[in-house]
Amino acid sequence: MFIDPIALRIGPFNIHWYGILFAVAAVAAAWLATREARRRGEDPERVWTMLLVAAVGGIIGSRIYHVIHQWEFYSANPELIPQVWNGGLGIPGGVAGGMIVLFAYTRFNHLNFLRWIDIGAPAMLLAQAIGRIGNFVNQELYGPPTDLPWGIPIDQDHRVPPWTNLDQYPVDSTFFHPLFAYEAILNLLGMGVLLWVGRRFALRLYDGDVAMLYFVWYGSVRTVLETFRTGNWVVGGIPVAILIGVGVAGVGAAVIIIRHARGWGTPGAYLADIHARQAAEALRDAPEPETG
C-alpha cells in the first residue's frame, strides 16, 4: 500500500526516492532550458552552471521556508534541519532562493537576467511537477478525505489533525485528495502554456514576461490548492502560502500590465538580437570585393 521512502540500501548508505526524483527533475529541467536557450539565441552550455547555482540557492531557500513553517518541531529537533532527504522543502522559498542566486550570477557574468528567467520558467514548472512525486512517496501534501477513485491512503504516522482518529478515519478505508498530483498536473499544463505563449507572441513579449506569467500561474495554483490543506502556517488567520500565492500572482500580473502600458521594454527583443547577430555573421563571412 505504501512505498518505502528509501529506494536503495548500500551498506550504511541509503538512497531516498526524494533525492532520486530531485535529480531527475533537475536534469529534465536543464534539458528543457537548454532547448529554450538555444531557441532564444543564448549559450545552452550556461544552463548547466545555472542549474547548479540555482539548485543550491533553491534547496537552501526551500528548506528555510519549511523549517520556519515547522519551527515548533525543528526547534526541538535541530539535528533534523539539514535532513532534506526526508522531505520538507517549501517551493515558495525555493523559488525565492533560486531567483536570488541567479540574479547574482547573471549580474556577475553580464547576462540578461530577465531573458534567462524566461528561459528557465517553463523548466521550473517541469521540475516542480516531477518533484511533487516525492510527496507521494513521503506521504505529504494531501488534502481532506475523498471518495473519488484517485484518493490515496495515508498511514497513521503521517496523519495530521483532524484525521489522526483512526476509529473515525481507518487507514484501510480512508483516502485523501492527492494535492501533490493536482499540482503536478497543473504545473505540466502551465509549462505548456508558457512554451506556447513564448512562441505564439514572441514578437510582442518583453524580456521577463514569460517569467511573470509563471508567477501568475504558480501563485494562482498554490492559492487554490492551499484552501484544501490543514495545519497551514498561518499569519493573521490566513495561511502564509495563500498570502504568498496571491501576492506573487498579483505582482506578476501587475508587472506585465504596467510594463506594456508604459512601454517599459522592447517587444521581441531576443528575436531582434538573433537577427542582428545573424546579419553581423553574414557580413563577416561575405567574400571580399575584388579590386581591379
Q: Residue 207 and residue 248: Cα distance in Å, rounded?
A: 18
**Contact present, 173 and 157 (Cβ < 8 Å):** no
Where do the domains of the chain lie? 6-143+178-278
What letter would DSSP give residue 167? T
Tell me the sheet residues that pair with 152: 176
- pLDDT class for 234, splitting at 50, 70, 90? confident
* Rounded to 5°, angle at Cα 222 from 138 and 16: 20
Confidence (pLDDT) at 218: 94
Confidence (pLDDT) at 12: 85
Q: Residue 172 and residue 273: Cα distance in Å, rounded?
A: 60
Q: Residue 156 and residue 179: Cα distance in Å, rounded?
A: 18
Q: Residue 164 and residue 159: Cα distance in Å, rounded?
A: 5
Q: Which of 147, 216, 150, 214 is nearest to 182 (CA)?
A: 150
Between 46-69 and 17-39, two packed helices, what is the crossing angle to 10 degrees?
140
Confidence (pLDDT) at 191: 98
**Contact present, 122 and 210 (Cβ < 8 Å):** yes
pLDDT in tens, 159-204: 988 899 999 999 999 999 999 999 999 999 999 999 999 999 999 9
Confidence (pLDDT) at 193: 98
Confidence (pLDDT) at 161: 86
**Contact present, 175 and 155 (Cβ < 8 Å):** no
Looking at the predicted structure, is the pLDDT value of residue 88 above 80?
no
How buried is residue 198: exposed, middle or buried, by Cβ count under 10 Å (0-12/13-18/19+)?
buried
Looking at the predicted structure, is the pLDDT value of residue 262 above 70?
yes
Average the pLDDT over 201-221 and give the result: 97
pLDDT in tens, 17-33: 988 998 999 999 999 99
Residues 6+ apart with CB under 8 A from 32: 122, 123, 126, 191
For residues 1 and 68, the model is more confident at 68
> Looking up cell 495563500, which residue turns up?
242
Average the pLDDT over 253-263 and give the result: 97
**Contact present, 97 and 62 (Cβ < 8 Å):** yes
Average the pLDDT over 211-231 and give the result: 92
- pLDDT class for 1, splitting at 50, 70, 90? low
pLDDT in tens, 65-74: 888 878 888 8
Looking at the predicted structure, is the pLDDT value of residue 245 above 60?
yes
